[in-house]
Structure 1
Amino acid sequence: MLHNTLLHRQIQKSQAVNKSQWGDKKTSSNTPHQVNQVVNNAAAETHFQKRHVYLATAVVNVISSCGVRVPCRALLDSGSQLNFVTTSLIQQLGIKKYRKDTPISGIGAQECRSEFVASITFESRTSAYKAIIETNLMSRISDYQASQEIDISLWKIPNDIQLADPSFCKSNQIDMLLGAELFFDLFMPGEYRISRDLPTLRNTKLGWVVAGSASASNSSSHCHIVTKPSLTSLDKLVRSFFETESHDIPITTESEEEHQCEEYFKKYTTLNSEGKFVVKLPFKENPIISLGDSLSSARKRFLSLENKLNKDKELKKSYISFMQEYEALGHMTPLKKGSIPRVHYVIPHHCVMKPESSSTKLRVVFDASAKTTSGRSLNDILMVGPTVQPDLFSIVLKFRMHRYVFTADITKMYRQVLLSEEDQAFQLIFWRSKTDMPLQLYKLNTVTYGTAPASYLATRCLVKIADDKQDKFYRASQAVKNNFYVDDCLAGADNIDDAHELLNEIISLLKTGNFELKKFCANNPMILKEISEDDKEKLVTFHQSEIIKTLGLIWDPSQDVFKFCFNDEKISKINTQITKRTVLADLARLFDPLGLLGPVIVIGKLFLQELWKLNMTWDDKLHIEKAQKWINYICQFSDLSKLNIPRYVLRPSAKTIELHAFSDSSLNTFGSCVYLRSVDENN
């Protein structure tokens, strides 16, 4: 028997099987939902002469779209980080599937892909156990189990033991694979060894499973490991690096889910008596069905956080201050004792430090991706929503076209948008400022940073203001739609009076939705003549993500130039272990959205290319010479802080504007550069 669940090697069968043993097929609807993941599959095959190894299988009841219980045969596999189901079973169940492209690589670099996922509910036949899981669809999961039928009539299995799979000894199709997410949760106390030469019976919530070896004429067994790496900090750095390097024109076609999210926003978004937006969470799955218990895990994480805070007085003081302000502003309120909604979700939280911020050094982040006992989180069942603002590259380019410019920031933008009262049950948190106080549940009353649709909901409200008020504030409405990156405004005009007027108009427009601008900067003080000194900033730092940058782009309005700030605390040191992983991390922290440092950064890319040619793994330590070469390179970035690049790229009162593009290549790299040439009346 070749039990190779993901490499799909061919095995000869005496006859083809065209449908599941459990019933006929049904068609299902198809909703595109693009998500990219990477899955690694390491497989090893071992042959045993005259021994057959039984893998743990169970027959469970899967709930169809009509509520009908359909039996299917599941393989329990602790070596898989993913759950799998056959496409034919999903069709039979009539369950909706979603596009989720998952490349899977196996031993010997063999590859296959899972293109869809589906959320399924299954129940034990022998207990009250029930679970909701996300499964990856495959045309085939495994070869038939068992690979050959064995006579077990002489096996002395006690009558009071209820087998999870009564036909474990017969060769049948595998319809589903339950991975490590559930594997160990399924096992219960209880083990029975039939005899020394026979498999062991182990008690689970699905019944007693049979696992182990028994005599057979000829057999082979197979074990496998499937890993699905999460978006670790390195993954985010890789993604950030290549997103920054790519300036392709974005595809504006909405997916079906994005369209549904837009329609949901239009249907349910309202204004309250104070003129504030009230939105609803855009669910794509029914939370009553999909969410399990979250109280226990959230409580454990809060107690762990509390223990950490108690060891750092300054951190605890800042955390308490943040939460006290949160409550004082009415953005969170305590739940009355005994009033926990029947269907709810408790969000764990932690803090991130932002030392470069002029206002809030500490920010509390809410983790709505924390799994419940069903294996699903709040973010798993929410729509993310489409991007409704231009990308940062486009905004900064436009920012360079105006002679007089200003920037500003919407203060606490997400928290100016209220969440409907019925949805606040899905934004509960634990909090107390002192350990001797009772642990209190609070509800978050506004759009919360850390929930999947937060950015969409907040920025979509800005777009709605612009659309609704464009008759009265036309210039400001265009600026809000075209010159905002999340909560940052970068706009301008060709003379001081127009810039000043535009700023005031934007302020007035945003006030209609209870959004307030702060942190003003301008390259001419007359633009900000009505702004208090407390609300002004001296420098503007451009951000694209939460990743702390080694090298970042800033704008100095006093000189009206772009500069690069260097953070030497984030670079690798010669006394630390330099690996391919740390090299990529250093490179990805170089934030250059306009490509101004292309000739410098390409040297780092070529160095990384050398490491790939050496077939080094991510964590192989670099030879001392190469490590020193990398340190010498990265330390030179401090010299870039002396570089001043004019922000304004035109001549005042230009008559003509031309674009001149150049490109060239060498054996190692290629590049291009586009210049803008403007000619005024004096030529």
Structure 2
Amino acid sequence: MARFFQIEKIFEKDKALKEAYTAYINELIEKGYMVKCVNNSSEPHCYLPHHVVMKDSTTTKVRPVFDASRKTSNGIALNDLLRPGPKLKKDLFNISIRFRTHAVAFTADIGKMYLHVKLDEQDQPYHKILWGDSVEKPIEDYRLTTVTFGVNISPFIAVATVQHHAKNEMENFPEACSIILNDSYMDDVSSGCDTVEEAIQRRSEITHVLQQGGFPLKKWASNCEELLESIPEDEIELKTKELDGYKYVSTLGLKWFFEGDKIGFKMDIERNALKYTKRAILSQITTIYDPLGLMAPVTMYNKILMQEIWKEQCDWDEEVSEQIATKWNALRGELPLIKNIKPKRWLECSNTKKIELHGFSDASEAAMGACVYMKVYKDDEIHVNLVAAKTKVTNVTTVGTLSGCFGREIDEHGEKIVKIGNIRNTFLLRQ
């Protein structure tokens, strides 16, 4: 009740937010996703505090999140009694790599995924909330009938339900179901095909399989105009964002400039920070998202700088030294140039004669890094693109410890071994 009163105070100051939040709740009630409780307070139950969050979405701008981690009157939270389930989500790095291998790429997402997964009726009393759309009206008890944001088991239930329907249709639509199972991250599908005809067929099959399970696919985007023309207009992502006049959609944590088929990077660097504290600098560094390491030469500087801040052993809200502040100020002034970095999405690896992967690695006293390039032979042309990279700063506690203790020897099979000695345990790293 106290948390609900806090929401009402926020609504008093922001009428537009109240209207948007109330409209969303009313939609839940109208569609049966949230129903009024009857007088059955004797049954086991749980009330979930809720609050409003703003979404960076072209469709739903606000939504409620339910706090299932909040301790109830007996000192136990709902999430304390629920196991989150095994990890079913596919690795984002692998999905991102595969997304770059298709000549014709497409993305889509399941509209309001959680709301299409119903809770068993015996579980619904544990998802009660308080709601009243006006201070003049009494506050009433409602229960949620679908999977809920904020409950730790919800992601598992939602993904498991989608995968269940895909597995059931695997025999009829093997390629489409494989995309749903392997190229989906929560409610986002990011995949593609080698030809336009195949892409049109796969899109139709994926849509059919998910509709069978009650999951509508919306906000389709593609680098292929012909594919988009085959999709109903109300299912296409029309509300795209723009950067310097180029349209893009967000997928896999990146910006995809689908018209030019380029990749961009997300970041949120504050231009006019008043204080340079460890907390402030770290919070801005972590806004730069680069899952494939395509900006490794840039992000490496950020990691080294953050390590230097840790070495100073300053508190989170204590201002860093003048030397660190000068370095960060110079770096921060250049980071907005990241928006100009737009590598190609497609690795040009379809219908090729030969593909080679070339790996490189190097290390210094400050950091180490590795990268992989793909070399593609096509007719009389050769294309080379960076696939992925990984960087790591040297461990502070071991800097200098390994200096001068590297040696090489040949094992019984004639292979080179790098031997790191003079430390408690000896490690053999096979080259």
Q: Aligned residue for 2:321?
A: 623
**Corresponding position: 1:440 with 2:149:** no
1:480 to 180, 191, 205: 180
Question: Which of the residues 536, 559, 575 maps onto 2:260?
Answer: 559
Name the structure 1 match of 2:308: 610
Q: Which residue of 2 aligns with 1:340?
A: 41
More helix by share: 2
> 2:3: which partner in 1?
301
Residue 453 of structure 1: aligned partner: 153
Deviation at residue 466 of structure 1 after TM alignment: 1.2
- CA shift, 1:626, in A, is 2.9
Could you give the per-residue CA deviations for residues 480-534 of structure 1, whole angstroms, max 9, x where no partner exists? 1101000000111100000110010000000110000001001102112232333
- What is the CA distance between 1:543 and its match in structure 2? 5.3
Deviations 1:560-612 (A, max 9, x none): 110124434xx36342x221122221121211111111110111111111122
Q: Deviations over 1:384-421 (max 9, x none)?
A: 01111311111010000110011000001111010011
| 1:322 paired to 2:24 | yes
Match of 2:428 in 1: none
Correspondent of 1:590 among 288, 291, 294: 288
Matched residue type, 1:540: V
Once the two structures are overlaid, the 10-residue window that deviates more, 308-317 or 404-413, is 308-317
Per the alignment, residue 199 of structure 2 pairs with 499
Residues 180-238 of structure 1: CA deviation (Å, up to 9, x unaligned): xxxxxxxxxxxxxxxxxxxxxxxxxxxxxxxxxxxxxxxxxxxxxxxxxxxxxxxxxxx
C-alpha contact 2:101 2:350 (8 A) present in aligned 1: no
Aligned equivalent of 1:412: 112
Alignment of 1:114-263 (within 5 A): none
3-state DSSP of counterpart to 1:464: helix
Contact 2:265 2:288 survives alignment (8 Å): no
Instruction: Tell me, in whole angstroms, the C-alpha distance in 2 between the residues paired with 1:502 and 1:343.
Output: 46
| 2:189 is equivalent to residue 489 of structure 1 | yes
* 1:574–1:631 Cα contact (<8 Å) kept: no
**CA deviation map 1:52-89 (0-9, x unaligned):** xxxxxxxxxxxxxxxxxxxxxxxxxxxxxxxxxxxxxx
Q: Does 1:542 align with 2:240?
A: no
Q: Following superposition of structure 1 onto structure 2, how do residues 312-391 of structure 1 map, counting pairs within 5 Å?
A: 312-336=14-38, 338-354=39-55, 356-391=56-91
Structure 1 residue runs of 5 or longer lacking an equivalent are 1-298, 545-552
> What secondary structure, in the 3-state scheme, does the structure 2 residue paired with 1:426 have?
helix
CA-to-partner distance for each residue in 1:330-376, whole Å, 9 max, x for gaps? 1101112x23352100101111112x311111121111111012221
Q: 1:660 is paired with a residue of what secondary structure?
A: strand
Residue 24 of structure 2 aligns with an amino acid whose one-letter code is: F
Deviation of 1:624 after TM superposition, in Å, equals 4.3
Question: Structure 2: which 5+ residue stretches go unaligned?
Answer: 241-247, 382-431
Q: Decide which structure has the larger Cα Rg and report it.
A: 1
Please give the secondary structure, in 1, of the residue aligned with 2:163: helix
Q: Which range moves more in the overlay, 469-478 or 523-532?
A: 523-532
Quote the Cα distance in structure 1 between the aligned partners of 2:342 and 2:283: 26
Following superposition, the deviation at residue 682 of structure 1 comes to 2.8
Q: Return the alpha-carbon distance in structure 1 between the equivalents of residues 273 and 187 of structure 2.
A: 39
TM-score by length of 1: 0.53
Residues of 1 paired with 2:179 and 2:93: CA distance?
A: 16
Give the share of equivalent positions with the same residue, in percent: 35
Aligned in 2, Cα 1:597/1:341: closer, same or farther, shift over 3 Å? farther
Q: Does the CA contact (< 8 Å) of 1:477 and 1:509 recur in 2?
A: yes
Cα deviation code 1:302-342 (max 9, x no counterpart): 11211211121111111111111111221101112x23352
Q: Distance in 2 between matches of 1:543 and 1:313?
A: 34
RMSD: 1.6
Question: 1:641: which partner in 2?
Answer: 339
Aligned length: 372
Where does structure 1 differ by over 6 angstroms across 4 or more consecutive aligned residues? none
Tell me the amino acid that sits aligned with residue 361 of structure 1. Answer: K
